[in-house]
Amino acid sequence: MHKPAWSDQLGEILNSAASASLLPYGMGRSYGDSCLNAHRELIDCRRLNRILGFDEVTGIVRCEGGVTLSDIISVFLPKGWFLPVTPGTQFVTVGGAIANDVHGKNHHCAGTFGAHVRQLELHRSNDGLVLCGPGENPRLFQATIGGLGLTGIIGWADIQLKRVEGPWIDAELVPFQSLSSFLDLSRESDGRFEYTVAWLDCFAGRNARGIFFRGNHSTEVAKKFRAKRGPNLPFAPPAWALNQYTVKAFNAAYYRAHAASKGTSLVGYDSFFYPLDSIRQWNLLYGKQGFLQYQCVIPQENIGAIEEVLDRIAHSGMGSFLGVLKQFGTAPPAGILSFPRPGLTLALDFGMRGEKTLALMKALDEVVLQSGGALYPAKDARMSAAMFEASFPRWRSFVPCIDPKMSSSFWRRVTEAQ
């Protein structure tokens, strides 16, 4: 593990490395092996975390790749600026957000994180420092957005922040009892609400019940805001504590609790965007075996396939706490390997139960494949090379942009067979 503290050290790290031996690493929040490099080396970029400049007129911030989104919020929200796009955790780096071209609850109107990167500087082992943007090295720019860290080390990036009045969100909770009512809600909300997402009780099958969350930045400025700091999960519970009955019970309780509090309310940005961040080490919830995430997108034209996915999950009895459903927008992808595309995305986590869990995921893959959908590399630890090929048919055109000294466990897994 290399731990550079200054960008002037990156050249030496790149020079002295063997070919296909390195991978930049940030906060390690990718669920699978896209942030790992088994038996090879990682470059921990978290010390490269400086804000290099900010234009108060345009709202463009230049920051090093290791700056975290939570850092950006804490520095710029008091000045009236917020992230243009944020994933479900603020504990990721800017480099990681670009490399996975992350999306958030505003994908339908703002696109992905990469769409708000104005330019970036890349440290490459073969051609040194390269400035990339829409007007300069556009190919490498598009490869780096969603490029899983394989195109080089992001030295700094210019990010367009967005103006907000304050830290509050006007949020609304709407319970729904079927997939079609979810779709109606989505259609009706996407024009009026900047942020939309739904939590799903995945034990309900195609009669998907859930809670639709929607919100806008509030104009409320007077109310005093204090960031929440929740409990810490001190240890992993034993495996037996999590079974289909307890998870089912959790889902039912979660649905009822939220359905009861339906309606509008003023909530802090942190509890709206980052509910899980408030439980430190929530990932331990799944015990020592851990869990697998599964996030797919089903294209708009085959949206019926999502019912089949939900049915297969319900029948397996292996539901998860957090089923998340979101309607993606139609913005063109910012990167060659960007995951979001027009359609419906579903994200779930499954406690790892060995073969049984893997078999379910394989069964889900079939449906996704048939529908012409895709899986999200940032959440994946097991997709086949064929599934990757189907998800990212353009991946071969990305290959020439890979820095010859970079590689990752994920990349070797999904491409080396081909």
- Interface with another protein, residue 395, by CB under 8 A: no
Supply the minimum distance, in Å, between the C-beta of residue 28 and another protein: 13
Supply the minimum distance, in Å, between the C-beta of residue 31 and another protein: 22
Question: Nearer to another protein by C-beta: 47 or 356?
Answer: 47
Stretch that binds another protein, among 3-11, 122-130, 322-330, 365-373 (CB under 8 A): 3-11
The total number of residues shown for the chain amounts to 418
Contact set for another protein, span 184-203 (CB under 8 A): none
Supply the minimum distance, in Å, between the C-beta of residue 155 and another protein: 10
Virtual torsion, Cα 164, 326, 196, 183, nearest 10 deg: 150
Question: Nearer to another protein by C-beta: 78 or 138?
Answer: 78
The correct pick among 11, 21, 36, 75 for binding another protein (CB under 8 A) is: 75
Alpha-carbon gap, residue 338 to 416, rounded angstroms: 20
Question: Nearer to another protein by C-beta: 74 or 330?
Answer: 74
Supply the minimum distance, in Å, between the C-beta of residue 4 and another protein: 9
Three-state secondary structure call for residue 160: strand
215-247 burial, b at 16+ Cβ within 10 Å, e below that, comes to bebbeeeeeeeebeeeeeeeebeeeeebeeeeb
Question: Nearer to another protein by C-beta: 111 or 155?
Answer: 155
Find tokens 């995921």 and name the residue: 361
Supply the minimum distance, in Å, between the C-beta of residue 93 and another protein: 15
CB atoms within 10 A of CB 12: 11
Alpha-carbon gap, residue 138 to 141, rounded angstroms: 5
The helix (run of H) or strand (run of E) holding residue 61 is strand 60-64
DSSP label at residue 414: H
Alpha-carbon gap, residue 382 to 178, rounded angstroms: 30
Question: Nearer to another protein by C-beta: 52 or 239?
Answer: 52
Alpha-carbon gap, residue 137 to 133, rounded angstroms: 6
- Interface with another protein, residue 3, by CB under 8 A: yes
CB atoms within 10 A of CB 126: 10
Question: Nearer to another protein by C-beta: 6 or 264?
Answer: 6
Site string for another protein, 28-57 (x = CB under 8 A): -------------------x--xxxxx---
Supply the minimum distance, in Å, between the C-beta of residue 415 and another protein: 32
Question: Nearer to another protein by C-beta: 75 or 284?
Answer: 75
Contact set for another protein, span 299-318 (CB under 8 A): none
Q: How many residues contact another protein, by CB under 8 A?
A: 14
142-169 burial, b at 16+ Cβ within 10 Å, e below that, comes to bbbbbbbbbbbbbbbbbbbbbebebbbb
Q: At what angle do helices 179-190 and 305-316 cross, to 10 degrees?
A: 130
- Interface with another protein, residue 8, by CB under 8 A: yes
- Interface with another protein, residue 356, by CB under 8 A: no
Please report, as a single letter, which amino acid is at residue 250.
Answer: F
Question: Nearer to another protein by C-beta: 52 or 352?
Answer: 52
Question: Nearer to another protein by C-beta: 51 or 284?
Answer: 51
Supply the minimum distance, in Å, between the C-beta of residue 2 and another protein: 9
- Interface with another protein, residue 183, by CB under 8 A: no
Q: Which residues bind another protein (CB under 8 A)?
A: 3, 5-8, 47, 50-54, 61, 64, 75
